[in-house]
Amino acid sequence: MPDSGLTRLRVSGRNRDLTSFGGGWQVRDRLLKAVKALPRITVLRNQSVFVVDDDLGMLKGLTRLLRQHGYDSVGFSSAEEFQNHGDFESACCVVLDINLNNESGIELRHRLRAAGISLPVIYITANDSPAIRMAAIESGCIAYLTKPFRAKSLIEPIDRVAASAA
């Protein structure tokens, strides 16, 4: 390949294409080795979102959705697992299912607040009722979503909280 004097580096997925530039093929080979040695990097907003849901399919889907929108997401399949985590300061908010295995997400929120942990909460539920909705709102949630919900309905309140925390 002729030496064009131009620099071009394209990294896309697993295919890496490096075009020769001013220094010839030896420089190209060193750069190619350096690029291949780099770890795969995901650009995150440096803010975690905790997700607590006992439905493993929903938990996996929500953590994936949050990562696609640039958030580091940490999933918990039970209230106990979430409470035992301990590092609540790393999160900008928590997405919390109201109906956890034999536990109420709203009660979990009250216990956390009593322990001095005041993360913004987005409640999600498949069993909507006026009484549950009122209890959730009174507990101080930033959003209340009924399953199924649009991704935008979840991401928008998280974006607002993340922006205010920055």
CATH number of 119's domain: 3.40.50.2300
The average pLDDT across 118-132 equals 96
* 93 and 147 fall within a common domain: yes
* 30 and 100 fall within a common domain: no
CA distance 51 to 95: 5
Q: Tens of pLDDT along 17-27?
A: 444 344 555 65
CA angle 61, 62, 64 (to 5 degrees): 65
Which residues have CB under 8 Å from 9's CB, separation 6+?
Answer: 18, 19, 31, 35
Per the model's pLDDT, the better-predicted residue between 152 and 43 turns out to be 152
* 159 and 94 fall within a common domain: yes
DSSP string spanning 88-115? GGGEEEEEEESEETTEEHHHHHHHHHHT
Q: Specify the pTM.
A: 0.72
Which residues have CB under 8 Å from 92's CB, separation 6+?
Answer: 47, 48, 49, 119, 120, 158, 161, 162, 165
* 68 and 87 fall within a common domain: yes
Which pLDDT score is estimated for 32? 54
2, part of any domain = no
Structural domain harbouring 143: 48-165
* 26 and 95 fall within a common domain: no
The average pLDDT across 31-41 equals 53
* Mean pLDDT score of the chain: 81
* 119 and 156 fall within a common domain: yes
Which pLDDT score is estimated for 14? 37
pLDDT confidence bin for 102, thresholds 50/70/90: confident
Domain count, the chain: 2
pLDDT confidence bin for 31, thresholds 50/70/90: low
Q: Tens of pLDDT along 44-77?
A: 455 899 999 999 999 999 999 999 999 999 999 9
62, part of any domain = yes
Question: Is the bond into 157 cis (omega within 30 degrees of 0)?
Answer: no
